[in-house]
Amino acid sequence: MAELKRTELTVRQGRAVLVGVILPRSTADPRDPLGELASLAKTAGAKVVANVIQRRQKPDSGTYIGSGKAEQIADLAKKNKADVVIYTISTNITRVESDGDKILRYYAGQTGGLAFFPFKAQDMAQSFENIANELRHQYNVLYRPEPLKADGLYHAVDIKVRNRKDLIVRARHGYYAPRM
């Protein structure tokens, strides 16, 4: 494979589905409840492809947003080919894993990110530093299946490093093939 010249390299913008849960005592701007999150996504270089807002009296104990809304979000992410990496920080300081913590761990793991669980509020700064460190030490791997499938569908991938058990691979669990 010929080496690419610098002028031939491109950066693909990540695609994000933003999700917000509005509870009765929410301090979110009622005119634009996802405005701050949208600004963060834009700053990170992501293109927002869908917004989901769920108004609830209290969080759902299993999914926080409700199982129906969770399915809707998963469908939206697949339909819009959302592919951003999610890093999460739990605010649960009870040291007992909650359903919400499980969800944070799940979303981070599915996107190639990582979930952080500080023991007290003062430790959150270290979690942000850990995320910054993670982002500074990432590698991109090019994968081209043989034969190349141009069906626009999602394809699962399992990435492992041969003969290096000391390395940890965190990656998405698949990709969307281009449609040609």
Residue 93 inside a domain? The answer is no
Dump pLDDT digits (tens) for 100-154: 788 888 878 877 788 888 887 788 888 888 888 887 777 777 777 888 888 888 8
Residue 157 inside a domain? The answer is no
Residue 27 inside a domain? The answer is yes
Dump pLDDT digits (tens) for 5-17: 444 444 467 788 8
Q: Is the pTM of this model over 0.85?
A: no
Residue 145 inside a domain? The answer is no
d(CA 127, CA 15) in angstroms, rounded, equals: 24
Residue 134 inside a domain? The answer is no
Domain count, the chain: 1
Is the pLDDT reported for residue 2 higher than 60? no
CA atoms within 13 A on the CB side of 127: 17
Angle at 176 between CA 167 and CA 160, to 5 degrees: 15
